[in-house]
């Protein structure tokens, strides 16, 4: 059975509204609440923003059972070690399953990199360099979160249960990296290269456990397992569907629908 998750954008919503939406998602039976990682509302045509890890920590206290995750944490918004420690801290506060979704960031000069450039956190221009930054995060996860970790990591937070690592992939190259190094992958359902991306990670996985997530814009009809897209997602092996509410949250709150 596919787990149905929800993602909220604080670009057009204040904290009380996001908090209410997360609690409502928990009550409606969504599997996880995912947060965006943006520094400003600008890329989403919004008026504001709440930093992702701060928001996740607040949601860990505001909710009780729903899983929490970043979809996805831009590896240029923080130093890799800061990101890994921050997510471990959220997991400690939440005391439940947390997911670390990571992304390689956008090419400098694009709309999606403007917010990083404004604060001096400019992504590397080369794709290989941006992918290497993802690898650095995964390296630190493996070093810091393992049960038999080296003594030098002894006083870093050790999250239990261990957060899953999910790579947001927009290319076959990053999908291959996810298959080699991460616990799972996230693929945009309507991505023009979706099938290439799927083939790239499926061809490298073997039979090891791997979390396959896909996301698309929230539509109430997608809560129906018989919806043609839901059927197609199941055929492609996706375990989780993240439904993203990017606009005003009030209509979603008023709909009172959910998977539970």
pLDDT exceeds cutoff 70 at 1:
no
Residue 260 domain flag? no
Q: What is the mean pLDDT of residues 192-221?
A: 96
- Decide if 245 contacts 219 (C-beta within 8 A): no
Containing domain of residue 225, as a range?
3-255
Residue 17 domain flag? yes
pLDDT exceeds cutoff 80 at 260:
no
Q: What angle do CA 113, 116, 119 make, to 5 degrees?
A: 150
| Angstrom distances, CA of residue 64 to CA of 23, 33, 59 | 9, 12, 9
pLDDT of residue 2: 87
Integer Cα distance of 157 and 178 in angstroms: 24
| Angstrom distances, CA of residue 56 to CA of 66, 135, 204 | 12, 23, 32
Residue 61 domain flag? yes
Query: pLDDT tens digit string along 29-85?
Result: 999 999 999 999 999 999 999 999 999 999 999 999 999 999 999 999 999 999 999
Q: What is the mean pLDDT of residues 176-198?
A: 98
- Decide if 166 contacts 140 (C-beta within 8 A): no
- Decide if 31 contacts 241 (C-beta within 8 A): no
Q: What is the pTM of this model?
A: 0.96
Integer Cα distance of 33 and 66 in angstroms: 7
Take residue 69 and report the two structure tokens written for it.
Answer: 């995750």
| Angstrom distances, CA of residue 138 to CA of 35, 70, 164, 227 | 20, 15, 11, 35
Residue 189 domain flag? yes
Residue 170 domain flag? yes
Q: What is the mean pLDDT of residues 230-238?
A: 96
Indicate which CATH number applies to the domain containing 66: 3.20.20.30
| Angstrom distances, CA of residue 259 to CA of 34, 109, 253 | 16, 40, 14
Integer Cα distance of 82 and 211 in angstroms: 24
Query: pLDDT tens digit string along 127-141?
Result: 999 999 999 999 999
The number of distinct structural domains making up the chain is 1
Radius of gyration of the chain (CA): 17
Mean model confidence pLDDT for the chain: 96
Q: Which of 67, 33, 73 is nearest to 53 (CA)?
A: 73
Integer Cα distance of 37 and 72 in angstroms: 6
- Decide if 241 contacts 233 (C-beta within 8 A): yes
């Amino acid at each position: 059975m596919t787990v149905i998750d929800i993602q909220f954008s604080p670009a057009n919503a204040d904290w009380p509204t996001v908090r209410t939406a997360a609690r409502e998602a928990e009550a409606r039976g969504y599997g996880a609440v995912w947060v965006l990682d943006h520094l400003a509302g600008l890329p989403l045509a919004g008026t504001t923003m709440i930093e992702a890890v701060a928001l996740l920590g607040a949601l860990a206290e505001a909710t009780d059972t729903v899983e929490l995750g970043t979809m996805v944490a831009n590896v240029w918004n923080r130093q890799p070690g800061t990101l890994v420690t921050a997510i471990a801290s959220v997991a400690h506060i939440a005391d439940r399953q947390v997911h670390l979704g990571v992304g390689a960031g956008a090419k400098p000069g694009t709309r999606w990199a403007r917010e990083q450039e404004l604060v001096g956190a400019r992504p590397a221009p080369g794709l290989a360099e941006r992918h290497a930054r993802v690898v650095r995060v995964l390296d630190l996860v493996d070093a810091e979160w393992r049960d038999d970790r080296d003594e030098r990591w002894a006083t870093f937070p050790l999250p239990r249960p261990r957060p899953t690592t999910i790579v947001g992939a927009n290319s076959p190259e990053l999908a291959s990296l996810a298959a080699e190094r991460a616990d799972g992958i996230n693929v945009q359902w309507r991505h023009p290269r979706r099938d290439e991306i799927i083939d790239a990670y499926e061809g490298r996985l073997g039979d090891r456990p791997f979390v396959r997530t896909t996301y698309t814009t929230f539509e109430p009809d997608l809560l129906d397992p018989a919806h043609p897209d839901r059927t197609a997602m199941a055929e492609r092996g996706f375990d989780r569907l993240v439904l993203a509410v990017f606009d005003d949250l009030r209509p979603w709150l008023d709909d009172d629908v959910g998977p539970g």
